[in-house]
Structure 1
Amino acid sequence: MQQVTIKNDFLSLKVLNYGARIQELLFRDKDGAWQNTVVGFSKPEQYLEDPISLGACVGRFAGRISGGGFTLDGEFYPVYSEDGVHLHGGQEGFANKYWEVKEVHQGDDPFVKLNYISPHQEEGYPGELEVTLTYQLQGATLRIIHEAFTDQHTIVNLTNHSYFRLDSSTEISHYKLQLGSEQFLDTHPNLLPTGGLNNVQGTDFDFRKPKNIGNTLMDTPFALHSSFVAEAYSPISGIRMRVKSNQPAVVVYTPPAFAGICFETQNFPDAPNIASFPSSALKPGDKYRNESEFAFDLVT
């Protein structure tokens, strides 16, 4: 397993080639102390036993697919499911693959570039998919760029599965959260979308204006209407994080067992099976691109 560190005057990032995972992302708090803003293990080998995709790239399709598979060009492609749900690309997914470290650049705007080639029919998906993932530091901003090409008509939906933690507290109820969304996806009890959208107004998910997270638990897909995704702020550390993306949705996840919050910028869950959702199809010659930014500053 390889570990790569890139840093500038504001951020320090550790990346593992196993799952293209973010192991550590350091930013100074209001007292000048380094705060690791992601949940992670101290030893790389601990990730081999991680069941929750800590800091990983998830794919080939992030999120959930219903019905045991999907139909493309009239052909049904079965994928691994548990209780009728295919999650995060299957039994292994991209989170448990060894990626190739293609390039590391230190100095101005440092970056690390990783590559993974997913063979035709891996986890049931058609086509060989070549994925390039770039982590770049620009000032106090982490840019995450997923790019993919295919040699056959396929589906793709990639995201980063970091659990952000803006202070050392054992809870996140005091975080102030704002979301750039007026609608969230209506879901069945197993979290598969029904195909409908609900307005956030009058619900616990109305974060159009900043407010404390409180006791609100989320494993919730939100529809996005602009590049602004979210803003989270901890009054304990003074750290604020702003998220932007070119994706049509974000799944906000607050794990019940530990302090952290995921902003999984991606396409709509189960998009391959719901015609009204944005297409997740990728054809040969076209490029898939998910570009998301996580910008840090201090509020004092």
Structure 2
Amino acid sequence: MEQVTIKNDFISLSVLDYGAIIQKLLVKDKEGKELNLVVGLENPKSYLDDHKCLGACVGRYAGRISNGGFQIEGNTYNLYTQNGVHLHGGKQGFAQKYWKFDAIEHREQPFVKLTRQSPHMEEGYPGNLKASVTYKLIDNSLQIIHEAITDRTTILNLTNHSYFCLDSTNSIDHYQLQLQCPEILETDNSLLPTGKLVSVKDTQYDFLTRKEIGKIRLDTAYVVSDSAKKVAELYSPVSGMRMTVESNQPAVIVYTPPEFGAICFETQNYPDAPNILSFPSAILHPGETYINKAVFTFDLVT
């Protein structure tokens, strides 16, 4: 297992070839001490036993798919399911695969690019897929770009699955959260979308105005406002650290795990889009390039 660290004056980022995992994201707090803003494991080999996708690239399809598969061009493709749900790419998705360090730059605007060839019918998905993820440091921002091409029509939905913690309290109750997301996807008991979009107004899911998270816990697909440049903003009054999230994707899955105090912002397409025609298309054709771009910016608010 290989590890690469890139850094600039603001951020130090450590990445593993296994799962294209973000292992550490170090930013200085208001006292000048380095604060790791992601939940990670100190020993890289420990990730082999991780089932929470800590910091990993998730695919081929991030999120849930229903009906045991999907159809493309009249062909049915069956996927691995548990309790009727296909999750995060299957039994062994991209988060449990080794990637290849393809390019590394340590000088101006440091970056690391990882690539992976996913063969036709891996985990039941059609097409030989060439995927890449690039982590780039631009001043006090981390830019994450997922790209992919295929040799036959397929579906695709990649995202990064980092769990962010903006201080060392191991709690998110005091965090202040704002989401430029006026609607969420209605889901059933298996967290599969019903196809209906629901307004967040006057519900616990309403973070259109910044408010304290408190005891609210989320595993929720938010619909990003069409006009929103900034998808999310998270702030810890303890550390003074603020994180903003920008994305070119139509949704963000906001997830707060029950086991520890952290929060995920999975910028991506809608869950189960391959099976719900009213959702944005998840189809990737030969000759097209899939691009999922997200920017995470960190600064101190005094």
Equivalent position to 1:263, from 262, 265, 290: 265
1:250-275 CA-to-partner distances (Å, cap 9, x unmatched) read 00000011011000000000000000
The match for 1:189 is 189
Alignment partner, residue 223 of structure 2: 223
Structure-1 residue corresponding to 2:40: 40
1:127-138 alignment runs, 5 A limit: 127-138=127-138
- After superposition, residues 89-128 of structure 1 pair within 5 angstroms as 89-128=89-128
Counterpart-to-counterpart distance in 2, 1:152 and 1:22? 30
- How many residues matched? 300
Partner of 2:82: 82
Name the TM-score, length of structure 2 as normaliser.
0.99
- The answer to whether the aligner puts 1:176 opposite 2:173 as a matched pair is no
What is the Cα-based RMSD across aligned positions, in Å? 0.5
Amino acid at match of 1:87: L
What does residue 152 of structure 1 align with? 152
The answer to whether the aligner puts 1:163 opposite 2:169 as a matched pair is no
- Cα deviation per residue 1:70-108 (whole Å; 9 max; x = unaligned)? 000011100000011000000010001000000100011
| Stretches of 4+ aligned residues off by more than 6 angstroms | none
SS class of match (2:170): coil
Structure 2 Cα separation of the partners of residues 281 and 22 of structure 1: 27
Matched, 1:209 2:209: yes
Letter in 2 for 1:129: L
Deviation at 1:229, TM superposition (A): 1.1
Determine the structure 1 residue equivalent to 2:12.
12
Amino acid at match of 1:54: L
Unmatched tracts of structure 1, length 5 or more: none
Taking only the aligned residue pairs, the percentage that are identical comes to: 58
Inter-partner Cα distance in structure 1 for 2:78 and 2:229: 33
Question: How far apart, CA to CA, are the structure 1 residues paired with 2:27 and 2:235?
Answer: 13
Deviation digits for residues 226-285 of structure 1 (CA, Å, limit 9, x no counterpart): 232100000111100000000000000000110110000000000000000000000000
2:59 aligns with: 59
Which sections of structure 2, spanning at least 5 residues, go unmatched?
A: none
Q: Does residue 1:69 correspond to 2:69, yes or no? A: yes
Which secondary structure does the structure 1 equivalent of 2:30 belong to? coil
TM-score, with normalisation over the residues of structure 1?
0.99
Letter in 2 for 1:224: V
SS at match of 2:164: coil
Work out the CA distance in 2 between the residues paired with 1:52 and 1:79: 20
Q: Name the amino acid aligned to 2:153.
A: H
Aligned partners of 1:107, 1:296: CA distance in 2, in Å? 20
Give the aligned residue type for 1:108.
Answer: E
Which residue is 1:293 aligned to?
295
Q: CA deviation at 1:224?
A: 0.5
